[in-house]
């Protein structure tokens, strides 16, 4: 099944908002949400232990660390919220949302990108600060990092579209919110 050419951004070979591009990200976001929710249930004392097949007490060390409790709510709960935002913003809109709904694409990209960066930082902290590893924390980081590339592609397409609108003299604010009727004239 081919992609409709009007949904493919100028200069691109594919549509970064196609369901075939977004569904894997949404599935990964739900997997990450499940992992982070489980870890946050441990951090909030709703479950007594956390599954750790490889690193002994590593998960307990990491999940009870000062860094994991630096904010008023545990870091895993923030991760779960981030993954939920990723999933919801990944589902909203059709296959031309990079052009019709740039705001949601940018929300999507901003939700996915920083979550991936934070995941990398938390993985670096594990051996450096605590001399420990957490299997599910590593799995969550892999999920986050796997989502970055495809999400950034779609965000780039939206940003390029907004830039073309600006060069055409069309209100970037209206294009950003998808309320400009002249948007179809942007090439």
Over the stretch 108-125, which tens digit does the pLDDT of each residue have?
A: 999 998 888 888 898 899
- Inform me whether the pLDDT recorded for 43 exceeds 70: yes
List, in sequence order, the alpha helices (H) in 44-186: 58-63, 75-91, 97-100, 102-130, 135-167, 172-177
As a whole-number percent, the residues of the chain with pLDDT over 70 amount to 94
pLDDT band at 69 (very low <50, low <70, confident <90, very high): confident
What is the model's pLDDT at position 120? Answer: 87
Q: What's the number of domains the chain is made of?
A: 1
CA atoms within 13 A on the CB side of 121: 9
**Strand, helix or coil for residue 6:** helix
In a domain, 10, yes or no: no
In a domain, 56, yes or no: yes
The better pLDDT of the pair 180, 52 is held by 52
CATH code of residue 29: 1.20.1440.130
In a domain, 134, yes or no: yes
**Domain range enclosing 104:** 16-185
Cα angle 52, 56, 58; round to 5: 80
In a domain, 3, yes or no: no
> Mind listing the pLDDT tens digit for each residue in 75-112?
999 999 999 999 999 999 999 999 999 999 999 999 99
As a whole-number percent, the residues of the chain with pLDDT over 90 amount to 78
In a domain, 138, yes or no: yes
**Average pLDDT value for residue range 12-26:** 96
Buried b (16+ CB within 10 A) or exposed e, 113-123: bebbebbeebb
């Amino acid at each position: 099944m081919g992609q409709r050419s009007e949904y493919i951004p100028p200069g691109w070979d594919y549509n970064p908002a196609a369901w075939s591009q977004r569904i894997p990200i949404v599935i990964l976001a739900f997997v990450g949400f499940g992992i982070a929710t489980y870890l946050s249930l441990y951090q909030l004392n709703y479950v007594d232990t956390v599954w750790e097949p490889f690193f002994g007490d590593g998960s307990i060390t990491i999940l009870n660390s000062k860094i994991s409790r630096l904010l008023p709510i545990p870091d895993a709960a923030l991760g779960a919220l981030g993954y939920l935002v990723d999933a919801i913003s990944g589902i909203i809109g059709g296959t031309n949302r990079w052009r019709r709904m740039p705001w949601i694409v940018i929300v999507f990209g901003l939700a996915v990108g920083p979550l991936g960066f934070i995941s990398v930082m938390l993985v670096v902290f594990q051996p450096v600060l605590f001399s420990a590893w957490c299997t599910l924390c590593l799995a969550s980081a892999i999920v986050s990092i796997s989502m970055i590339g495809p999400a950034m592609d779609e965000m780039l397409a939206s940003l390029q579209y907004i830039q073309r609108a600006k060069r055409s003299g069309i209100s970037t604010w209206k294009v950003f919110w998808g309320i400009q009727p002249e948007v179809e004239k942007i090439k």
